[in-house]
Amino acid sequence: MNRQERKAVRLEIISILDKECKSCSKARKFSRSNNPYCYTKCQVGQRLLELSRSLKRQEEVVKVESEAKRPVGGQEGGVNRRWTDKEVRFLIENKGRMSLAKMASKLKRSPKSVGGKIYALQQKGMLVNKNVD
């Protein structure tokens, strides 16, 4: 993608944010950058996600892939890593279907970390407050 094409994509993103997301009650309730509703259920949000992915340069894609391979748990470099959008979506989609321990295993995170993130999502109103395990 050349410079002009990237500029056109950025302008389209700005236009969508101004026209669609500015008036959306769901987007205002949570920060747009970390609102699972926007990228899991909203067609506009999914389009924005698609556009943003098209902007990524090859070196950024390699960087993300290398971060996914880093150690987890108590190993060096894996402690206190940030939650990715994909991991948050996984929690939202599987809470109530899968045990806390199983979700932790699949995400390569501690059960305490998964439980804490579920609690935080419930406090933000992004998850229904049902018991897991």
The domain spans of the chain are 3-57, 75-123
0.75 exceeded by the pTM? no
Beta bridge pairs of residue 98: 95
> Residue 115's pLDDT is what?
92
Tallying the residues shown for the chain, one arrives at: 133
pLDDT reading at 9 higher than 60:
yes
Provide φ and ψ at 126, rounded to 5°: -90, -15
Residue type, 114: V
- For 60-89, how does the pLDDT look when each residue is reduced to its tens digit (9 = 90+)? 544 555 555 555 544 334 567 899 999 999
Higher pLDDT, 58 or 116: 116
- For 18-27, how does the pLDDT look when each residue is reduced to its tens digit (9 = 90+)? 888 877 877 6
